[in-house]
Structure 1
Amino acid sequence: MLTKNVADGIHCVEDASVNWFLVEEDERLTVVDAGLPTSWRSLLSALDELGRRPEDIEALVLTHGHFDHLGFAERLRFEVGVPVYVHENDVPLTRHPRQYGRDRPLWWYLLTQIKALPIAVGFLARRAWWPQPIKKVHRMPEGVLDVPGRPRVLFTPGHTLGQCALHFPERDAVIAGDAVVTLNPYRGTRGPQLVSGAATVDPERALRSLDAIADTKATTVLVGHGEAWTGGAGRLVELARRRGPS
Protein backbone atom coordinates (compact mmCIF):
# COMPACT_ATOMS: atom_id res chain seq x y z
CA MET A 1 0.00 0.00 0.00
CA LEU A 2 2.98 2.32 0.55
CA THR A 3 4.87 3.60 -2.47
CA LYS A 4 7.99 5.48 -1.47
CA ASN A 5 9.24 8.61 -3.19
CA VAL A 6 6.51 9.15 -5.74
CA ALA A 7 8.21 12.54 -5.69
CA ASP A 8 11.31 13.54 -3.74
CA GLY A 9 10.54 12.80 -0.08
CA ILE A 10 6.82 12.31 -0.75
CA HIS A 11 5.36 8.87 -0.16
CA CYS A 12 1.93 7.64 -1.27
CA VAL A 13 -0.38 5.29 0.61
CA GLU A 14 -3.31 3.83 -1.35
CA ASP A 15 -6.35 2.39 0.40
CA ALA A 16 -9.32 1.20 -1.68
CA SER A 17 -8.55 3.53 -4.61
CA VAL A 18 -7.95 6.50 -2.29
CA ASN A 19 -4.48 8.07 -2.09
CA TRP A 20 -3.00 10.03 0.79
CA PHE A 21 0.56 11.15 1.35
CA LEU A 22 3.43 11.46 3.80
CA VAL A 23 5.83 14.35 3.21
CA GLU A 24 9.24 14.18 4.87
CA GLU A 25 11.47 17.08 5.85
CA ASP A 26 14.45 16.08 7.97
CA GLU A 27 12.96 14.16 10.91
CA ARG A 28 9.54 15.76 10.59
CA LEU A 29 6.44 14.74 8.66
CA THR A 30 3.33 16.28 7.16
CA VAL A 31 0.40 14.03 6.30
CA VAL A 32 -1.67 15.18 3.32
CA ASP A 33 -5.24 13.85 3.48
CA ALA A 34 -6.33 11.06 5.78
CA GLY A 35 -7.83 8.35 3.60
CA LEU A 36 -10.57 6.17 5.06
CA PRO A 37 -11.35 5.32 8.70
CA THR A 38 -9.50 2.00 8.36
CA SER A 39 -6.44 3.86 6.99
CA TRP A 40 -5.25 4.31 10.57
CA ARG A 41 -3.70 0.85 10.32
CA SER A 42 -2.06 1.85 7.03
CA LEU A 43 -0.66 4.97 8.68
CA LEU A 44 0.98 3.00 11.49
CA SER A 45 2.35 0.46 9.00
CA ALA A 46 3.73 3.17 6.71
CA LEU A 47 5.38 4.99 9.60
CA ASP A 48 7.01 1.77 10.73
CA GLU A 49 8.30 1.07 7.23
CA LEU A 50 9.74 4.59 7.04
CA GLY A 51 11.32 4.30 10.49
CA ARG A 52 9.07 7.04 11.88
CA ARG A 53 6.65 7.40 14.78
CA PRO A 54 3.28 9.15 15.07
CA GLU A 55 5.01 11.78 17.19
CA ASP A 56 7.10 12.77 14.14
CA ILE A 57 3.94 14.08 12.43
CA GLU A 58 3.66 17.85 12.84
CA ALA A 59 0.66 18.58 10.62
CA LEU A 60 -2.21 17.03 8.72
CA VAL A 61 -3.23 19.07 5.67
CA LEU A 62 -6.53 18.30 3.97
CA THR A 63 -6.84 19.14 0.29
CA HIS A 64 -10.61 19.20 0.85
CA GLY A 65 -13.27 18.00 3.24
CA HIS A 66 -14.88 15.02 1.51
CA PHE A 67 -15.50 11.89 3.59
CA ASP A 68 -12.87 9.80 1.75
CA HIS A 69 -10.13 12.22 2.73
CA LEU A 70 -11.03 12.67 6.41
CA GLY A 71 -10.57 9.01 7.49
CA PHE A 72 -8.25 9.06 10.50
CA ALA A 73 -7.97 12.86 10.83
CA GLU A 74 -9.86 13.23 14.10
CA ARG A 75 -8.05 10.27 15.65
CA LEU A 76 -4.67 11.74 14.71
CA ARG A 77 -5.72 15.12 16.09
CA PHE A 78 -7.15 13.73 19.34
CA GLU A 79 -4.67 10.96 20.15
CA VAL A 80 -1.41 12.49 18.88
CA GLY A 81 -2.23 16.21 19.07
CA VAL A 82 -1.56 16.87 15.37
CA PRO A 83 -3.13 20.11 14.05
CA VAL A 84 -5.44 19.70 11.05
CA TYR A 85 -5.44 22.33 8.29
CA VAL A 86 -8.19 22.88 5.72
CA HIS A 87 -9.45 25.79 3.60
CA GLU A 88 -12.10 27.79 5.42
CA ASN A 89 -14.72 27.00 2.77
CA ASP A 90 -14.54 23.31 3.65
CA VAL A 91 -14.66 23.68 7.42
CA PRO A 92 -18.40 22.73 7.43
CA LEU A 93 -17.57 19.50 5.58
CA THR A 94 -15.09 18.47 8.26
CA ARG A 95 -17.96 18.60 10.76
CA HIS A 96 -20.61 17.02 8.50
CA PRO A 97 -18.62 14.88 6.03
CA ARG A 98 -21.55 13.42 4.08
CA GLN A 99 -23.39 16.70 3.58
CA TYR A 100 -21.58 17.81 0.44
CA GLY A 101 -22.81 19.50 -2.72
CA ARG A 102 -22.97 17.75 -6.06
CA ASP A 103 -23.79 18.70 -9.62
CA ARG A 104 -25.59 15.43 -10.47
CA PRO A 105 -27.43 12.87 -8.29
CA LEU A 106 -25.40 10.01 -6.88
CA TRP A 107 -28.05 7.38 -7.62
CA TRP A 108 -27.57 7.76 -11.38
CA TYR A 109 -23.94 6.64 -11.13
CA LEU A 110 -24.70 3.79 -8.74
CA LEU A 111 -27.33 2.42 -11.13
CA THR A 112 -25.47 2.87 -14.42
CA GLN A 113 -21.69 2.83 -13.89
CA ILE A 114 -20.88 -0.87 -13.58
CA LYS A 115 -17.10 -0.31 -13.76
CA ALA A 116 -17.26 1.73 -10.57
CA LEU A 117 -19.01 -0.95 -8.50
CA PRO A 118 -15.78 -2.55 -7.14
CA ILE A 119 -14.70 0.87 -5.90
CA ALA A 120 -18.05 1.44 -4.17
CA VAL A 121 -17.80 -2.01 -2.55
CA GLY A 122 -14.28 -1.21 -1.35
CA PHE A 123 -15.51 2.07 0.14
CA LEU A 124 -18.32 0.26 1.94
CA ALA A 125 -16.03 -2.42 3.34
CA ARG A 126 -13.72 0.21 4.80
CA ARG A 127 -16.48 2.40 6.27
CA ALA A 128 -15.55 5.23 3.93
CA TRP A 129 -18.82 7.11 4.38
CA TRP A 130 -18.55 7.23 8.17
CA PRO A 131 -15.40 9.13 9.21
CA GLN A 132 -15.37 10.87 12.57
CA PRO A 133 -16.17 14.58 12.28
CA ILE A 134 -13.16 16.74 13.13
CA LYS A 135 -13.78 18.75 16.27
CA LYS A 136 -11.11 21.39 15.70
CA VAL A 137 -9.39 22.56 12.51
CA HIS A 138 -7.07 25.38 11.50
CA ARG A 139 -8.12 27.49 8.53
CA MET A 140 -5.48 27.25 5.82
CA PRO A 141 -4.42 30.47 4.04
CA GLU A 142 -3.12 30.66 0.50
CA GLY A 143 0.63 31.06 0.13
CA VAL A 144 3.38 29.01 1.76
CA LEU A 145 2.14 26.89 4.66
CA ASP A 146 4.58 26.63 7.55
CA VAL A 147 4.55 22.86 7.96
CA PRO A 148 7.17 20.25 7.02
CA GLY A 149 7.70 20.41 3.27
CA ARG A 150 6.51 24.05 3.18
CA PRO A 151 3.97 23.58 0.37
CA ARG A 152 2.49 26.51 -1.49
CA VAL A 153 -1.29 26.36 -1.15
CA LEU A 154 -3.15 26.72 -4.46
CA PHE A 155 -6.87 27.49 -4.22
CA THR A 156 -8.55 25.20 -6.77
CA PRO A 157 -12.30 25.26 -6.01
CA GLY A 158 -14.92 23.38 -7.96
CA HIS A 159 -14.69 19.82 -6.72
CA THR A 160 -15.58 21.34 -3.36
CA LEU A 161 -15.79 25.03 -2.52
CA GLY A 162 -12.55 24.78 -0.55
CA GLN A 163 -10.54 22.29 -2.62
CA CYS A 164 -6.84 23.19 -2.60
CA ALA A 165 -3.74 21.75 -4.25
CA LEU A 166 -0.28 21.82 -2.67
CA HIS A 167 2.77 22.79 -4.73
CA PHE A 168 6.23 21.67 -3.65
CA PRO A 169 8.47 23.72 -6.00
CA GLU A 170 11.77 22.27 -4.78
CA ARG A 171 10.43 18.76 -5.38
CA ASP A 172 8.91 19.59 -8.78
CA ALA A 173 5.59 18.15 -7.61
CA VAL A 174 1.98 19.04 -6.88
CA ILE A 175 -0.46 17.15 -4.68
CA ALA A 176 -3.72 17.95 -6.45
CA GLY A 177 -6.22 16.30 -4.14
CA ASP A 178 -9.34 15.78 -6.25
CA ALA A 179 -8.95 18.91 -8.37
CA VAL A 180 -7.97 16.44 -11.10
CA VAL A 181 -7.66 12.65 -10.92
CA THR A 182 -6.43 9.74 -13.02
CA LEU A 183 -9.13 7.39 -11.75
CA ASN A 184 -12.74 8.52 -11.50
CA PRO A 185 -14.33 6.66 -8.55
CA TYR A 186 -17.84 7.27 -9.89
CA ARG A 187 -17.24 5.83 -13.35
CA GLY A 188 -14.23 3.58 -12.92
CA THR A 189 -12.54 5.33 -15.85
CA ARG A 190 -8.82 6.06 -16.00
CA GLY A 191 -6.78 8.93 -17.37
CA PRO A 192 -6.73 12.65 -16.51
CA GLN A 193 -10.24 13.91 -15.69
CA LEU A 194 -12.46 15.67 -13.21
CA VAL A 195 -14.31 13.63 -10.62
CA SER A 196 -17.91 13.14 -11.78
CA GLY A 197 -20.74 15.44 -10.81
CA ALA A 198 -21.85 13.03 -8.07
CA ALA A 199 -19.04 14.52 -5.96
CA THR A 200 -18.18 17.78 -7.75
CA VAL A 201 -20.21 20.80 -6.81
CA ASP A 202 -19.28 23.09 -9.73
CA PRO A 203 -17.62 21.43 -12.77
CA GLU A 204 -17.16 24.68 -14.71
CA ARG A 205 -15.30 26.25 -11.83
CA ALA A 206 -13.29 23.06 -11.40
CA LEU A 207 -12.13 23.30 -15.01
CA ARG A 208 -11.09 26.93 -14.56
CA SER A 209 -9.19 26.06 -11.39
CA LEU A 210 -6.93 23.71 -13.32
CA ASP A 211 -5.01 26.81 -14.48
CA ALA A 212 -3.40 27.00 -11.03
CA ILE A 213 -2.04 23.47 -11.40
CA ALA A 214 -0.85 23.98 -14.99
CA ASP A 215 0.90 27.21 -14.00
CA THR A 216 3.19 25.32 -11.61
CA LYS A 217 4.81 23.54 -14.59
CA ALA A 218 5.52 20.69 -12.19
CA THR A 219 6.65 17.39 -13.70
CA THR A 220 4.79 15.22 -11.21
CA VAL A 221 1.15 15.60 -10.15
CA LEU A 222 -0.07 13.36 -7.34
CA VAL A 223 -3.81 12.81 -7.23
CA GLY A 224 -6.40 11.66 -4.74
CA HIS A 225 -7.52 8.77 -6.94
CA GLY A 226 -5.41 6.94 -9.50
CA GLU A 227 -1.77 6.68 -10.45
CA ALA A 228 0.72 9.51 -10.16
CA TRP A 229 1.08 11.60 -13.31
CA THR A 230 4.67 12.24 -14.42
CA GLY A 231 4.02 13.77 -17.83
CA GLY A 232 3.86 17.37 -16.68
CA ALA A 233 1.09 19.46 -15.15
CA GLY A 234 0.31 21.24 -18.42
CA ARG A 235 -0.34 18.02 -20.32
CA LEU A 236 -2.44 16.63 -17.47
CA VAL A 237 -4.66 19.71 -17.48
CA GLU A 238 -4.95 19.68 -21.27
CA LEU A 239 -6.22 16.10 -21.26
CA ALA A 240 -8.61 16.66 -18.36
CA ARG A 241 -10.14 19.67 -20.08
CA ARG A 242 -10.47 17.76 -23.33
CA ARG A 243 -12.47 15.12 -21.44
CA GLY A 244 -14.66 17.67 -19.66
CA PRO A 245 -17.27 17.09 -16.94
CA SER A 246 -18.94 13.72 -16.58
Structure 2
Amino acid sequence: MQQSTEWDPRSRVSEQAPGVHFVEGPASNWIVVRDHAGFILIDSGYPSDLPLVLASVRHLGLDPADARALLVTHGHVDHTGSAAHFSEAYGTPVLSAPEELAHVQGKEKHQVTVGQVLRRAWRPRAFRWMVHVLQSGALAATPAAQARAWDAATLRALPGSPEPVLLPGHTPGNAAILLRSAGAVAVGDSFVSGHPLSTWTGPQMLHRMYHSDPGEAEAAVRGLDGIDASVILPGHGPALRMTLADALAALRSQTGCAGSTR
Protein backbone atom coordinates (compact mmCIF):
# COMPACT_ATOMS: atom_id res chain seq x y z
CA MET A 1 0.00 0.00 0.00
CA GLN A 2 1.13 3.56 -0.59
CA GLN A 3 1.84 4.34 3.05
CA SER A 4 4.32 1.47 3.23
CA THR A 5 6.44 2.79 0.32
CA GLU A 6 6.71 6.17 2.07
CA TRP A 7 7.65 4.70 5.46
CA ASP A 8 11.29 5.24 6.45
CA PRO A 9 12.87 3.53 9.49
CA ARG A 10 15.29 6.42 9.94
CA SER A 11 12.42 8.61 11.11
CA ARG A 12 10.20 5.90 12.60
CA VAL A 13 12.61 3.97 14.82
CA SER A 14 13.68 5.65 18.05
CA GLU A 15 15.57 4.41 21.10
CA GLN A 16 13.25 5.43 23.93
CA ALA A 17 15.34 3.74 26.66
CA PRO A 18 18.65 1.88 26.56
CA GLY A 19 18.17 -1.02 24.18
CA VAL A 20 14.44 -0.34 23.76
CA HIS A 21 13.58 0.73 20.20
CA PHE A 22 10.05 1.99 19.52
CA VAL A 23 8.82 1.64 15.94
CA GLU A 24 5.88 3.69 14.70
CA GLY A 25 4.16 1.86 11.88
CA PRO A 26 1.59 3.43 9.54
CA ALA A 27 -1.21 2.66 12.01
CA SER A 28 0.18 0.29 14.66
CA ASN A 29 3.45 0.14 16.58
CA TRP A 30 5.96 -2.54 17.51
CA ILE A 31 9.08 -2.66 19.67
CA VAL A 32 12.56 -4.13 19.35
CA VAL A 33 14.34 -4.88 22.64
CA ARG A 34 18.04 -5.72 22.47
CA ASP A 35 20.86 -6.46 24.90
CA HIS A 36 24.02 -8.56 25.02
CA ALA A 37 21.90 -11.73 24.70
CA GLY A 38 20.23 -10.74 21.43
CA PHE A 39 16.86 -9.18 20.66
CA ILE A 40 13.13 -9.74 20.85
CA LEU A 41 10.11 -8.15 19.22
CA ILE A 42 6.99 -6.99 21.03
CA ASP A 43 4.00 -7.03 18.65
CA SER A 44 4.37 -6.92 14.88
CA GLY A 45 1.92 -4.59 13.12
CA TYR A 46 -0.66 -5.41 10.44
CA PRO A 47 0.02 -8.13 7.82
CA SER A 48 1.03 -5.48 5.27
CA ASP A 49 3.58 -4.13 7.76
CA LEU A 50 5.81 -7.20 7.43
CA PRO A 51 8.32 -5.47 5.08
CA LEU A 52 8.45 -2.56 7.55
CA VAL A 53 8.99 -4.84 10.53
CA LEU A 54 11.86 -6.53 8.71
CA ALA A 55 13.27 -3.15 7.64
CA SER A 56 13.15 -1.82 11.20
CA VAL A 57 15.07 -4.83 12.51
CA ARG A 58 17.69 -4.55 9.78
CA HIS A 59 17.93 -0.79 10.35
CA LEU A 60 19.24 -1.66 13.83
CA GLY A 61 21.90 -3.91 12.32
CA LEU A 62 20.06 -7.09 13.30
CA ASP A 63 18.99 -10.15 11.33
CA PRO A 64 15.24 -10.90 11.64
CA ALA A 65 16.04 -14.62 11.72
CA ASP A 66 17.94 -14.11 14.98
CA ALA A 67 14.97 -12.86 17.01
CA ARG A 68 14.87 -14.77 20.29
CA ALA A 69 11.08 -14.43 20.53
CA LEU A 70 8.12 -12.38 19.39
CA LEU A 71 5.90 -11.40 22.32
CA VAL A 72 2.27 -10.56 21.61
CA THR A 73 0.43 -8.16 23.92
CA HIS A 74 -2.88 -9.41 22.49
CA GLY A 75 -4.22 -11.25 19.47
CA HIS A 76 -5.69 -8.47 17.33
CA VAL A 77 -4.52 -8.57 13.74
CA ASP A 78 -2.83 -5.15 13.93
CA HIS A 79 -0.44 -6.61 16.52
CA THR A 80 0.04 -10.14 15.19
CA GLY A 81 0.40 -9.37 11.48
CA SER A 82 4.02 -10.56 11.15
CA ALA A 83 3.93 -13.27 13.81
CA ALA A 84 3.12 -16.17 11.49
CA HIS A 85 5.96 -15.17 9.15
CA PHE A 86 8.52 -15.09 11.98
CA SER A 87 7.29 -18.43 13.26
CA GLU A 88 7.20 -20.16 9.87
CA ALA A 89 10.23 -18.57 8.18
CA TYR A 90 12.65 -18.40 11.10
CA GLY A 91 11.23 -20.66 13.79
CA THR A 92 10.90 -17.68 16.11
CA PRO A 93 8.92 -18.55 19.25
CA VAL A 94 5.69 -16.52 19.31
CA LEU A 95 4.59 -16.10 22.92
CA SER A 96 1.47 -14.69 24.56
CA ALA A 97 -0.36 -14.82 27.86
CA PRO A 98 -1.96 -18.25 28.41
CA GLU A 99 -5.37 -16.55 28.49
CA GLU A 100 -4.73 -15.10 25.01
CA LEU A 101 -3.22 -18.11 23.32
CA ALA A 102 -6.35 -19.39 21.55
CA HIS A 103 -6.90 -15.90 20.13
CA VAL A 104 -3.32 -15.63 18.83
CA GLN A 105 -3.54 -19.12 17.33
CA GLY A 106 -6.75 -18.20 15.48
CA LYS A 107 -8.97 -20.59 17.43
CA GLU A 108 -10.98 -17.72 18.93
CA LYS A 109 -11.85 -14.25 17.71
CA HIS A 110 -12.15 -11.16 19.87
CA GLN A 111 -12.20 -8.41 17.26
CA VAL A 112 -14.33 -5.39 16.40
CA THR A 113 -17.15 -6.58 14.11
CA VAL A 114 -17.89 -5.44 10.58
CA GLY A 115 -21.27 -4.17 11.77
CA GLN A 116 -19.69 -2.00 14.45
CA VAL A 117 -17.41 -0.44 11.85
CA LEU A 118 -20.11 0.09 9.24
CA ARG A 119 -22.33 1.92 11.73
CA ARG A 120 -19.59 4.53 12.03
CA ALA A 121 -18.24 4.48 8.46
CA TRP A 122 -20.04 7.72 7.60
CA ARG A 123 -17.54 9.56 9.80
CA PRO A 124 -14.43 10.57 7.80
CA ARG A 125 -11.99 9.32 10.44
CA ALA A 126 -13.75 5.97 10.75
CA PHE A 127 -13.97 5.60 6.97
CA ARG A 128 -10.24 6.26 6.52
CA TRP A 129 -9.43 3.77 9.26
CA MET A 130 -11.70 1.17 7.66
CA VAL A 131 -9.96 1.63 4.29
CA HIS A 132 -6.56 1.20 5.94
CA VAL A 133 -7.69 -2.01 7.64
CA LEU A 134 -8.91 -3.44 4.34
CA GLN A 135 -5.71 -2.47 2.53
CA SER A 136 -3.56 -3.88 5.33
CA GLY A 137 -4.56 -7.48 4.66
CA ALA A 138 -6.38 -7.76 7.96
CA LEU A 139 -9.24 -9.85 6.58
CA ALA A 140 -6.88 -12.47 5.17
CA ALA A 141 -4.35 -12.56 8.00
CA THR A 142 -2.62 -15.84 8.82
CA PRO A 143 -2.82 -16.69 12.53
CA ALA A 144 0.28 -17.74 14.43
CA ALA A 145 -0.84 -21.34 14.80
CA GLN A 146 2.41 -22.40 16.50
CA ALA A 147 2.25 -19.72 19.20
CA ARG A 148 2.88 -20.84 22.77
CA ALA A 149 1.94 -19.53 26.19
CA TRP A 150 4.68 -17.68 27.99
CA ASP A 151 5.77 -18.29 31.57
CA ALA A 152 7.79 -16.12 33.92
CA ALA A 153 10.98 -18.20 33.67
CA THR A 154 10.98 -18.18 29.86
CA LEU A 155 10.44 -14.43 29.73
CA ARG A 156 13.06 -13.72 32.38
CA ALA A 157 15.72 -15.40 30.21
CA LEU A 158 14.94 -13.23 27.17
CA PRO A 159 16.66 -9.94 26.24
CA GLY A 160 15.31 -7.16 28.46
CA SER A 161 13.93 -9.68 30.99
CA PRO A 162 10.31 -8.79 30.13
CA GLU A 163 7.63 -9.14 32.81
CA PRO A 164 3.96 -9.58 31.84
CA VAL A 165 1.11 -7.71 33.50
CA LEU A 166 -2.25 -9.30 32.70
CA LEU A 167 -4.86 -6.61 31.90
CA PRO A 168 -7.97 -8.38 30.57
CA GLY A 169 -10.85 -6.54 28.94
CA HIS A 170 -9.45 -5.29 25.68
CA THR A 171 -9.21 -9.01 24.97
CA PRO A 172 -9.45 -11.86 27.51
CA GLY A 173 -5.68 -12.25 27.78
CA ASN A 174 -4.51 -8.74 26.97
CA ALA A 175 -1.23 -7.89 28.71
CA ALA A 176 1.28 -5.11 29.17
CA ILE A 177 4.98 -5.97 29.16
CA LEU A 178 7.27 -4.32 31.69
CA LEU A 179 10.94 -3.79 30.89
CA ARG A 180 11.92 -3.01 34.45
CA SER A 181 15.64 -2.33 34.03
CA ALA A 182 14.90 0.16 31.22
CA GLY A 183 12.08 1.89 33.11
CA ALA A 184 9.78 1.22 30.16
CA VAL A 185 6.44 -0.50 29.70
CA ALA A 186 4.80 -1.69 26.48
CA VAL A 187 1.09 -1.23 27.11
CA GLY A 188 -0.22 -2.48 23.76
CA ASP A 189 -3.85 -1.35 23.55
CA SER A 190 -4.49 -1.34 27.30
CA PHE A 191 -4.41 2.40 26.66
CA VAL A 192 -2.93 4.39 23.80
CA SER A 193 -1.61 7.87 23.03
CA GLY A 194 -3.48 8.36 19.76
CA HIS A 195 -5.59 6.56 17.17
CA PRO A 196 -7.13 7.31 13.75
CA LEU A 197 -10.54 7.68 15.43
CA SER A 198 -9.22 10.11 18.05
CA THR A 199 -8.80 13.86 17.61
CA TRP A 200 -6.01 14.32 20.15
CA THR A 201 -2.73 12.92 21.47
CA GLY A 202 -2.17 11.80 25.03
CA PRO A 203 -3.05 8.92 27.36
CA GLN A 204 -6.51 7.66 26.38
CA MET A 205 -8.61 4.53 26.14
CA LEU A 206 -9.55 3.23 22.73
CA HIS A 207 -13.15 3.54 21.58
CA ARG A 208 -15.35 1.08 23.46
CA MET A 209 -16.10 -0.91 20.31
CA TYR A 210 -12.52 -2.19 20.26
CA HIS A 211 -12.79 -3.89 23.66
CA SER A 212 -14.25 -7.35 24.20
CA ASP A 213 -15.39 -6.08 27.62
CA PRO A 214 -15.23 -2.26 27.83
CA GLY A 215 -15.93 -2.07 31.54
CA GLU A 216 -13.31 -4.65 32.36
CA ALA A 217 -10.79 -2.92 30.07
CA GLU A 218 -11.25 0.39 31.89
CA ALA A 219 -10.94 -1.28 35.28
CA ALA A 220 -7.94 -3.39 34.25
CA VAL A 221 -5.56 -0.45 33.97
CA ARG A 222 -5.55 -0.43 37.78
CA GLY A 223 -3.26 -3.41 37.42
CA LEU A 224 -0.56 -0.94 36.38
CA ASP A 225 -0.78 0.99 39.65
CA GLY A 226 2.49 1.06 41.54
CA ILE A 227 4.67 0.08 38.57
CA ASP A 228 7.71 2.32 38.23
CA ALA A 229 8.13 3.32 34.58
CA SER A 230 8.83 6.64 32.88
CA VAL A 231 8.68 5.50 29.25
CA ILE A 232 5.31 4.29 27.93
CA LEU A 233 5.15 2.48 24.62
CA PRO A 234 1.59 2.18 23.30
CA GLY A 235 0.27 0.12 20.42
CA HIS A 236 -1.07 3.26 18.74
CA GLY A 237 0.22 6.82 18.88
CA PRO A 238 3.62 8.20 19.89
CA ALA A 239 5.74 7.04 22.79
CA LEU A 240 5.06 8.90 26.03
CA ARG A 241 7.93 10.25 28.13
CA MET A 242 6.05 10.56 31.41
CA THR A 243 5.62 8.50 34.51
CA LEU A 244 3.13 5.69 34.35
CA ALA A 245 1.48 7.16 37.45
CA ASP A 246 0.89 10.46 35.63
CA ALA A 247 -0.48 8.66 32.57
CA LEU A 248 -2.93 6.69 34.71
CA ALA A 249 -3.98 9.88 36.50
CA ALA A 250 -4.67 11.46 33.10
CA LEU A 251 -6.81 8.47 32.13
CA ARG A 252 -8.81 8.73 35.34
CA SER A 253 -9.41 12.42 34.85
CA GLN A 254 -11.26 11.72 31.62
CA THR A 255 -15.00 11.09 31.71
CA GLY A 256 -15.49 7.36 32.07
CA CYS A 257 -11.73 6.84 31.48
CA ALA A 258 -12.21 7.10 27.72
CA GLY A 259 -12.05 10.78 26.78
CA SER A 260 -12.91 11.79 23.23
CA THR A 261 -12.53 8.36 21.67
CA ARG A 262 -16.01 7.16 22.71
Normalising by structure 1, what TM-score? Answer: 0.90
CA contact (8 A) 2:176 2:185 kept: yes
1:178-232 C-alpha deviation (Å, 9 max, x unpaired): 0010113444543211111221112222222212323212111100000111121
> Who is 2:221 aligned against?
210
Letter aligned with residue 201 of structure 2: R
2:177 is the counterpart of 1:166: yes
2:136 is the counterpart of 1:126: yes
2:211 is the counterpart of 1:200: yes
Unaligned runs of 5+ in 2: 1-8
CA contact (8 A) 1:159 1:195 kept: no
Alignment CA distance shift 1:66-1:227 (3 Å)? same
Q: 2:98 aligns with which of 88, 92, 95?
A: 88
Which structure has greater helix proportion? 2
> Who is 1:39 aligned against?
49
Q: Post-superposition shift, 1:155? A: 0.6
> Who is 2:164 aligned against?
153
> Who is 2:71 aligned against?
61
2:253 is the counterpart of 1:242: yes
2:241 is the counterpart of 1:230: yes
Helix, strand or coil at the partner of 1:208: helix
1:60-100 C-alpha deviation (Å, 9 max, x unpaired): 00000011111110110011000000112222222338831
| Residue range with higher mean Cα deviation, 193-202 or 117-126 | 117-126
Letter aligned with residue 183 of structure 1: G
Letter aligned with residue 105 of structure 2: R
Alignment CA distance shift 1:39-1:97 (3 Å)? farther
Alignment CA distance shift 1:184-1:66 (3 Å)? same
CA contact (8 A) 2:58 2:64 kept: no
Q: 2:34 aligns with which of 8, 24, 33?
A: 24
Alignment CA distance shift 1:48-1:127 (3 Å)? same
Partners of 1:168 and 1:143 in 2: how far apart? 15
Letter aligned with residue 31 of structure 2: F
CA contact (8 A) 2:233 2:240 kept: yes
CA contact (8 A) 1:74 1:132 kept: yes
Q: 1:135 aligns with which of 145, 159, 164?
A: 145
Partners of 2:191 and 2:21 in 1: how far apart? 19
| Residue range with higher mean Cα deviation, 201-210 or 117-126 | 117-126
Alignment CA distance shift 1:53-1:101 (3 Å)? closer
| Residue range with higher mean Cα deviation, 126-135 or 74-83 | 126-135
Alignment CA distance shift 1:143-1:240 (3 Å)? farther
Helix, strand or coil at the partner of 2:95: strand
| Residue range with higher mean Cα deviation, 62-71 or 129-138 | 129-138
Alignment CA distance shift 1:67-1:213 (3 Å)? same
- Work out the number of aligned pairs and report it: 245
How large is the RMSD of aligned CA atoms in angstroms?
2.3
Letter aligned with residue 48 of structure 2: T
Which structure has greater strand proportion? 1
Letter aligned with residue 150 of structure 2: M
Same amino acid, percent of matched pairs: 26
2:62 is the counterpart of 1:49: no
Partners of 2:57 and 2:195 in 1: how far apart? 28
Unaligned runs of 5+ in 1: none
CA contact (8 A) 2:47 2:138 kept: yes
Partners of 2:125 and 2:108 in 1: how far apart? 23
Letter aligned with residue 30 of structure 2: W
CA contact (8 A) 2:160 2:181 kept: no
Q: Post-superposition shift, 1:171? A: 0.4
Partners of 1:94 and 1:47 in 2: how far apart? 22
Letter aligned with residue 33 of structure 2: V
| Residue range with higher mean Cα deviation, 220-229 or 51-60 | 51-60
Q: Post-superposition shift, 1:101? A: 5.2
Partners of 1:160 and 1:152 in 2: how far apart? 19
